[in-house]
Amino acid sequence: MVVLLAVVVIGGLVLLARRNRDGPRPDRAGTDGAGPGFPDRPLGGKRVSAALMSLGRIEVCGLRKEYRGIRAVDDLSFTVEPGRVTGFLGPNGAGKTTTLRMLLDLVEPTAGTATIGGVRYADLDQPIRRVGAVLEAGAAHKDRTGRDHLRIVCQSAGIPLARADEVLELVGLGAAANRTFRGYSLGMRQRLGVAAALLGDPQVLILDEPANGLDPEGIRWMRDLLRTLATQGRTILVSSHLLGEMEQLADDLVIVAAGRLAAQGTVASVIGSMTYLSRTLVRTPELGKLAAVLGSDAVVTPAGDAGAYITGADAVAIGDAALRAGIAIHQLVTQLPDLEAAFLELTAGKASIR
């Protein structure tokens, strides 16, 4: 009987221990930040030595991960260079998070290697001083303050505890340092994750969807921060679904679909490889006549207001044909594909959920 009573009481205590002690409720209407953002001052642009460059290079080679017969990542190879922001893109279930976790030794690859500066993450000396990672916005104990969360990471890594306060100020969470994690908005949680990643002042930053939940000001803050860090010679690998944001932020892209590499290169080269997606906007009072002289390869799609989009013939061919036929042209504009169009084309037909 006494044992039963004890079980009930202790069970209640366990449940109580999981609940908040005194933390404020999340301020859903609030912004993601609690203070000034990343300091708006020039920080870097220093020349990075070849040795540092090689220390910061991420190399993924023939990486494969199978879960119960399903290949989440399939023979994936790519390189991420220091001093650049590399966007890691792919549809849901494409294997992005699994790849990042293999890079951080959280997930064991079925085959292949993932190294940072030529060394597996697990073999790095003081890994947190070399690599900072933002994996999940909800990765802190709900009843712990942001400051305590960071101080625990400092203590584990042998970093002075005072560093926690520095990075909290850096990410604009100084005013919310002593609030419990339960009271943080999603954007504040993202900032805390970034703060944890910056504790060791690392050469390499790996961020999994860091912009999720950020408001426009927060997204701009994140963009400025990552750009500044890359300018300092750091390696920035960031996965995201925000294609427009990535087009502005990234220097390089790695696009995966169904666990396989779909494209890699600079943003311009990846988009440039999709030139067949480009189209030409033409405005002319004689659209029917122009369509007739362009030949069978050209596809004319009326766009209203005496205009049409033409694919299958570029602006030069259209202009020449119009000149020969004596057709007046009021507007002739080549429209190149954007990242979204390139992404959708590269990942089309590759099942994202397998």
Partner 1 sequence: MTALLDSAALDQAGDTGTTLVRLIRAEFMKIRTTSTGELFLTGFIVFTAMALTINGFGIHHQLDPQQGLAGRAQALAQARAPASVAKMAASMMTSGQRICVLFALLLGVLIVTSEFANQTAAVTFVTVPRRTTVIMAKVAAAACCGALFWLVGTVLAAVATPLFLYSQHVSTSVAGWAVARSVLLNLLAFVAWGVFGLGLGAVLRSQIVAVIGAIAVYAGSFGTELVFSALYNLFRQGWMLGAPVIGPAVASEVMTTSGPAFPHAPPGWTGGIILIGYTVALVAGGIALTKRRDVI
Residues that bind partner 1 (CB under 8 A): 2-4, 6-7, 9-11, 13-14, 16-18, 21, 39, 43-44, 46, 52, 101, 104-108, 121-122, 124, 127-128, 133, 135-136, 138-145, 148, 151-163, 165-166, 170, 196, 198, 201, 203, 229, 232-234
Tell me the C-alpha distance between 56 and 21, whole Å. Answer: 42
Q: Of 223, 227, 265, which is closest to residue 245 (Cα–Cα)?
A: 223
Give 92 or 156: the residue with its C-beta nearer to partner 1: 156
Q: Report, in Å, the least distance between residue 11 CB and partner 1.
A: 7
Q: Report, in Å, the least distance between residue 336 CB and partner 1.
A: 36
Tell me the C-alpha distance between 312 and 218, whole Å. Answer: 42
Give 43 or 268: the residue with its C-beta nearer to partner 1: 43
Q: Report, in Å, the least distance between residue 8 CB and partner 1.
A: 10
Tell me the C-alpha distance between 6 and 76, whole Å. Answer: 54
Give 161 or 328: the residue with its C-beta nearer to partner 1: 161
Q: Report, in Å, the least distance between residue 238 CB and partner 1.
A: 16
Q: Report, in Å, the least distance between residue 313 CB and partner 1.
A: 50
Give 10 or 328: the residue with its C-beta nearer to partner 1: 10
Give 225 or 294: the residue with its C-beta nearer to partner 1: 225
Tell me the C-alpha distance between 277 and 309, whole Å. Answer: 12
Give 166 or 345: the residue with its C-beta nearer to partner 1: 166
Give 28 or 41: the residue with its C-beta nearer to partner 1: 41
Tell me the C-alpha distance between 276 and 30, whole Å. Answer: 45
Q: Report, in Å, the least distance between residue 63 CB and partner 1.
A: 14
Give 91 or 233: the residue with its C-beta nearer to partner 1: 233
Give 159 or 262: the residue with its C-beta nearer to partner 1: 159
Q: Report, in Å, the least distance between residue 92 CB and partner 1.
A: 15
Cα 82 versus chain centre, distance:
16
Q: Write the CA distances from 121 to 73, 177, 226, 347, integer angstroms.
A: 18, 30, 22, 30
Q: Report, in Å, the least distance between residue 156 CB and partner 1.
A: 4
Q: Scanning the structure block, which residue is given the tokens 């805390």?
A: 192
Q: Report, in Å, the least distance between residue 327 CB and partner 1.
A: 59
